[in-house]
Amino acid sequence: MRWRTASRCDRPLKAARGLTNGRPKASVTLFALFTLLTSPFPALTLSAQPFQLPTANRALFEKGGEDRFFVGTVGKTWESGTFGCVRSDGWQIHEGIDIRCLQRDKHGEPTDPVMATADGTVAYINTRPSLSNYGNYIILRHHIEGLEIYSLYAHLQSVRDGLKIGQAVKAGEPIAIMGHTANTHQGISKDRAHVHFELDLLVNDRFADWYRKTFPGQRNDHGNWNGQNLNGIDPRLILLEQHRLGDKFSLVNYLRSETELCRVFVRSTNFPWLKRYAPLIKPNPAAEKAGVAGYEIALDFNGVAIELIPRSASEIKGKGKFILLSVNEAEEKKNPARRLVTQRSGHWELGTHGLNLLELLTY
């Protein structure tokens, strides 16, 4: 779960179906090689520049251009407009990047077109700004290297006329005009007008049902498109890495190489992430042969499941639905805002937020 606070503009199917049922009896290594060479969605296919900047502002790629690219929060430096544990002394997460406006009308209102970051389809449009910290916002769905990735554009002044859910859009196609809409008490000033841009993984397509049961009586105006069901990755690092590597960039490789915060075991073999993010599963032939009892999962500091390994019952020590296997203390110290794990009497355990995330992930 993401417990974004004020600045947040508001978490398949037989699990190992692809790994167990459909797999030939030949060696898994050979199978992996075969998949790599022949699959229509090979995990390691290198795709050219999957993401584009969502506005004409390109200062991100200029030396010392950060001030001209990111908008900080009131009275803070540009770093507070980047992704991560960048607010409230590191204890508040900002799950996107805030991109500065380049052009204004005679009243000082932003007029920058906002463009689709990649080819995709429209997943959600909110044009009732009073219902979200995001104000007016759009979510697009993309398929990149076998991963279902979502991009989100918030605080929009207006959404392009006629844009509809399910409609296909091309990378670079204008979808909206930048603005400063939000339902927060203090609002966003005209001066700080920006697009809040996220790249997300979708935690669970049964979110709305889970939310209703877990938080009875609480409002959920956006169904599955609640920010808590979208797990952000860092657009700045991804855009810079793409810029550096060109068509050698791979999103799957990027995710696999992220620093892990902790490692957990979940006693579930059938949850949507396994299908939606199958390229992040690391094969374990021994467990698949013996019978998969659950998954070992590496989480990054924002709770994104970056690696999943099937495990057999004999490979797991301990009982319980969720077991904390390890904690990267240096990473927890550096990026603590999600409070996924907590230290009690000298030992680490899953905190309420960590448990909620795993409940939603495996729901």
Residue 97 or 308: which CB sits closer to Zn ion?
A: 97
**Across the strands, what pairs with 344?**
347
Q: Which is nearer to Zn ion, 154 or 262 (CB)?
A: 154
Tell me whether residue 121 or residue 183 sits nearer to Zn ion (CB atom): 183
Angle 147-153-154 (CA atoms, 0-180°, nearest 5)? 140
What residue spans of 39-110 are helical by DSSP H?
66-69
* Bridge pairing between strands 174-177 and 136-144: unpaired
Q: Closest distance between Zn ion and the C-beta of residue 192, in Å?
A: 10
* Termini Cα distance of the chain: 12
CB-based closest residue to Zn ion: 196
Closest approach, Cβ 98 to Zn ion, in A, equals 4
Under the rule (CB under 5 A), what is the footprint of Zn ion? 98, 196
Residues with Cβ within 8 Å of 332's Cβ and at least 6 positions away in sequence, in order, are 261, 262, 301, 341
Residue whose CB is less far from Zn ion, 133 or 224? 133
| Least distance from Zn ion to the Cβ atom of residue 113, Å | 19
What's the closest the beta carbon of residue 328 comes to Zn ion, in angstroms? 27
70: β partners: 99
Give min distance, CB of 222 to Zn ion, in A.
Answer: 17
For residues 84 and 68, what is the distance between their CA atoms, to the nearest angstrom? 19
- Least distance from Zn ion to the Cβ atom of residue 42, Å: 34
Residue among 287, 229, 278 nearest 255 (CA): 278
DSSP state of 97: E
Closest CB to Zn ion among residues 73, 242: 73
Minimum distance, C-beta of residue 309 to Zn ion, in the bound complex (Å) = 34
Q: Which CB atom, from 232 or from 294, has the smaller least distance to Zn ion?
A: 232
Nearer to Zn ion, 142 or 196 (CB): 196
Alpha helices, DSSP H only, in 92-222?
207-214
* Contacts of 99 by beta carbon, 8 Å cutoff, 6+ apart: 53, 54, 55, 57, 69, 70, 71, 194, 195, 197
Q: Residue 194 or 276: which CB sits closer to Zn ion?
A: 194
**d(C-alpha 76, C-alpha 247), whole Å:** 35
Residues in the chain: 363
Residue 310 Cβ, how far from Zn ion at the closest point, in Å? 37
